């Protein structure tokens, strides 16, 4: 039977041992765009060639494969420069797209809220602007394999000036959204914990599992085995049985080589992360390349300016591990959102890290320890205070980390 392909995917093997991973990830990104059958071509290079991304011999091979299998679409596994797109299109006379465009297109098809739609459109326009000439061919081609979901109108009808105007408008809209988000965040009195990590690592499932544990009537979020299931942040209040609570935030997942414009325009949504009191960095420890995924996530966190926020590494999906697994980081925990393994421990660890736990104590402080009374007034919550003959009797809730200071005065002095 003759083999049928929807597209050729072209990757550079940088000789870093990651080519299989990147190729598979690109195939997944293609699948999310309904491009299911891909013919893989790779070339070993130190860095992409300036003019055509790959060498001329490789381009001939691409051409030959395209003719043999009647393929109209070629997808490159890095972001192509505007001139590379133009050159390759002219040379191959095929529809040419790159990794960034695939990712942008998935975001565009998944965006549901107006904020996410504005963010994706902005990233798409910014990506398109310098590439108008090259892209016009790809986007105008009928019957190609790539079903581009543009930011609304037919891109061809929009000239550069119109796109620039649109970008300005979208940026202004985002600024507005940003201001109201910031006001909302400022008003929050609860501590916040953000779930952050690579796409498909299980952030949303963990959120749902914690909702199940502590909040049975709360609305769940979408958790699904697909890339970028979550595009908007969702907040849920988690309340412990002792009534202490915090806000849990589920955020959009990351992927390697995320288009720069996309990270930038999603800064508004991702602001929830920068304002968090604790970041839960979710890692899919069953993924053989989890270390690469940790690095990608940490780089985005750095770009967002989160280096001062405490991080707890949460190694999820441990139910899928065949062998023993030892996380490198000290501040880490192994869990399974699916089986519930260590979920309560996770909740308790969060509690310890962000909520200042307190104990109510009755103290009898001698008059010569006025310094302790001042300390109590300054740092703790005094419920009742009474001056006795030879001591001051205080009932107070005291932060556990300070308990040792008052230990000696817990008993009656009489
Ligand atoms: N076996 C197993 N599967 C899990 C676990 N946690 C999550 N999953 C599955 O992994 C897939 C992705 O889960 P999500 O919760 O959607 O992942 P996410 O990190 O929110 O992904 P994005 O929203 O795309 O960034 C789903 O099919 C989940 O059922 C786990 O502990 N064990
Ligand atoms: Mg999610």
How much is the pLDDT for 30? Answer: 94
Determine the distance separating the centroid of ligand 1 and the alpha carbon of 146, expressed in angstroms.
27
Instruction: Note every long-range contact of 368-377, with CB atoms under 8 Å and residues 24 or more positions apart, other chains counting.
Output: 369/409, 372/405, 372/406, 372/409, 375/405, 376/406
Residues with CB under 5 A from ligand 2 (ion): 203-204, 229-230
How much is the pLDDT for 323? Answer: 86
Please name which of 332, 319, 396 lies closest in space to residue 365, comparing C-alpha atoms: 396
How much is the pLDDT for 138? Answer: 56
Name the residue with the closest Cα to ligand 1, atom 1.
317
Name the residue with the closest Cα to ligand 1, atom 9.
202
* Residue 359 DSSP symbol: E
Cα–Cα distance between 255 and 4 in angstroms, integer?
A: 28
How much is the pLDDT for 296? Answer: 93
Mean pLDDT by 10 residues, the chain (414 residues): 88 94 94 93 95 95 96 94 91 92 90 88 89 60 57 58 90 90 81 95 96 83 87 89 89 88 81 90 95 94 89 97 86 96 95 81 92 91 90 88 86 46
Determine the distance separating the centroid of ligand 1 and the alpha carbon of 199, expressed in angstroms.
8
State the DSSP string of 171-216. Answer: HHHHHHHHHHHHHHHHH--SEEEEEEEBTTSSHHHHHHHHHHHH-T
Please name which of 124, 177, 110, 127 lies closest in space to residue 152, comparing C-alpha atoms: 124
Contact 131, 151 (CB under 8 A): no
Atom of ligand 1 lying closest to residue 341 CA: 31
**Number of other residues whose CB lies within 10 A of the CB of residue 12:** 21
Determine the distance separating the centroid of ligand 1 and the alpha carbon of 210, expressed in angstroms.
14
Atom of ligand 1 lying closest to residue 223 CA: 16
Query: Which ligand has an atom closest to residue 335 CA?
Result: 1
Give residues with Cβ within 8 angstroms of 134, minimum separation 6: 82, 83, 85, 86, 89, 96
Atom of ligand 1 lying closest to residue 320 CA: 1
Please name which of 316, 283, 263 lies closest in space to residue 198, comparing C-alpha atoms: 283
The full set of domains in the chain, from first to last, is 7-146+154-162 (3.40.50.11060), 188-354 (3.40.50.300), 358-409 (no CATH)
Contact 12, 43 (CB under 8 A): yes
How much is the pLDDT for 57? Answer: 95
| Range list of β-strands (E), 89-186 | 95-98
How much is the pLDDT for 150? Answer: 62
Name the residue with the closest Cα to ligand 1, atom 16.
223
Determine the distance separating the centroid of ligand 1 and the alpha carbon of 250, expressed in angstroms.
12
């Amino acid at each position: 039977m003759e083999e049928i392909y929807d597209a050729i995917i072209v990757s550079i093997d940088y000789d870093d041992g990651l080519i299989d991973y990147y190729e598979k990830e690109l195939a997944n990104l293609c699948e999310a765009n309904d491009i299911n059958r891909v013919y893989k071509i790779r070339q070993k290079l130190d860095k992409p060639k300036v003019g055509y991304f790959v060498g001329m011999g490789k381009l001939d091979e691409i051409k030959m494969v395209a003719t043999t299998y009647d393929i109209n679409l070629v997808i490159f596994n890095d972001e192509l420069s505007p001139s590379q797109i133009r050159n390759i299109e002219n040379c191959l006379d095929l529809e040419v797209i790159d990794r960034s465009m695939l990712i942008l297109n998935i975001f565009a098809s998944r965006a549901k809220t107006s904020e996410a739609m504005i963010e994706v459109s902005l990233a798409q326009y910014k990506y398109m602007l310098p590439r108008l000439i090259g892209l016009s061919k790809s986007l105008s081609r009928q019957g190609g394999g790539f079903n581009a979901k543009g930011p609304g109108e037919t891109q061809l009808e929009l000239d550069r000036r119109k796109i620039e105007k649109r970008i300005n408008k979208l940026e202004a809209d985002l600024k507005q959204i940003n201001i109201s988000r910031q006001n909302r965040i400022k008003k929050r009195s609860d501590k916040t914990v953000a779930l952050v990590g690579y796409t498909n690592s299980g952030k949303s499932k963990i959120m749902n599992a914690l909702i199940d544990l502590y909040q049975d009537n709360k609305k769940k979020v979408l958790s699904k085995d697909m890339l970028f299931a979550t595009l908007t942040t969702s907040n849920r209040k988690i309340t412990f049985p002792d009534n202490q609570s915090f806000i849990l935030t589920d955020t959009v997942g990351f992927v390697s080589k995320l288009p720069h414009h996309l990270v930038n325009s999603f800064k508004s949504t991702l602001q929830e992360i920068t304002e968090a009191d604790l970041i839960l960095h979710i890692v899919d420890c069953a993924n053989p390349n989890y270390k690469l995924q940790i690095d990608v996530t940490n780089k985005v966190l750095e770009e967002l300016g989160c280096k001062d926020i405490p991080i707890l590494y949460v190694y999820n999906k441990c139910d899928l591990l065949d062998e023993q697994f030892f996380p490198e980081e000290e501040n880490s925990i192994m869990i399974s959102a699916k089986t519930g393994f260590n979920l309560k421990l996770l909740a308790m660890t969060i509690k310890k890290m962000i909520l200042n736990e307190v104990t109510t104590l009755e103290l009898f402080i001698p008059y010569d320890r006025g310094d302790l009374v001042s300390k109590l007034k300054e740092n703790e919550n005094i419920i009742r205070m009474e001056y006795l003959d030879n001591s001051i009797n205080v009932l107070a809730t005291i932060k556990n980390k300070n308990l040792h200071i008052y230990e000696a005065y817990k008993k009656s002095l009489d």
